[in-house]
């Protein structure tokens, strides 16, 4: 993972991506006990000059130059499957804007804050997200005022109340 994160940081340094944050199962490891995941999900922001029809093309060109193969929607970077996602809605974009810098495997990297991960899990609502959200609520250290503010901003308070009533 260390080599993978260093490679990703090199894309940031070269301006291929302008920012990124670890999301998904790997991000959850930072806040709660690990669960099963096989890839590294990255939400990225790319430079505005990128091809609008193939916005991730610079990332794939970079990977090809370094002989990192692709498998489905993943690039295999230093042995780790990595999925690159653009910020696909206002909540995810807001979370990317508020990503925090942390050190993982002795590498400075960026990760979504717990409160944004929780809001995204609630918004997505898949069974695996629901289970992880329950675990976050009971295991993670988070700021409930910050979570409520994010949920209000992105019109998720009713969904949150319903979730708590049904699941907790």
Cα separation of 6 and 78, whole Å? 10
More confident: 167 or 99: 99
Query: What pLDDT, on a 0 to 100 scale, did the predictor assign at position 95?
Result: 98
State whether 11 and 81 are in the same domain: yes
State whether 94 and 11 are in the same domain: yes
Q: What's the pLDDT band for 52 if we cut at 50, 70, 90?
A: low
Domain of residue 87, CATH code: 3.30.460
Q: What are the tens digits of pLDDT across the range 112-150?
A: 999 999 999 999 999 989 999 999 999 999 999 999 999
Is the pLDDT score of 105 beyond 60?
A: yes
């Amino acid at each position: 993972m260390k080599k993978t994160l260093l490679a990703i940081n090199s894309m940031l340094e070269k301006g291929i991506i302008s920012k990124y944050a670890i999301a998904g199962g790997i991000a959850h490891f930072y806040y709660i006990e690990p669960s099963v995941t096989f890839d590294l999900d990255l939400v990225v922001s790319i430079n505005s000059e990128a091809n609008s029809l193939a916005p991730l093309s610079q990332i794939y060109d970079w990977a090809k130059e370094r002989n990192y193969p692709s498998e489905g929607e993943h690039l295999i970077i230093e042995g780790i499957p990595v999925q690159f996602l653009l910020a696909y809605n206002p909540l995810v974009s807001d979370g990317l804007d508020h990503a925090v810098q942390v050190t993982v495997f002795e590498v400075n990297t960026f990760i979504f804050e717990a409160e944004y991960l929780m809001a995204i899990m609630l918004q997505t609502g898949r069974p695996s997200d629901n289970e992880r959200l329950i675990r976050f609520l009971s295991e993670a250290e988070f700021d409930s005022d910050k979570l409520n503010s994010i949920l209000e901003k992105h019109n998720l308070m009713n969904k949150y109340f319903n979730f708590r009533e049904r699941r907790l």
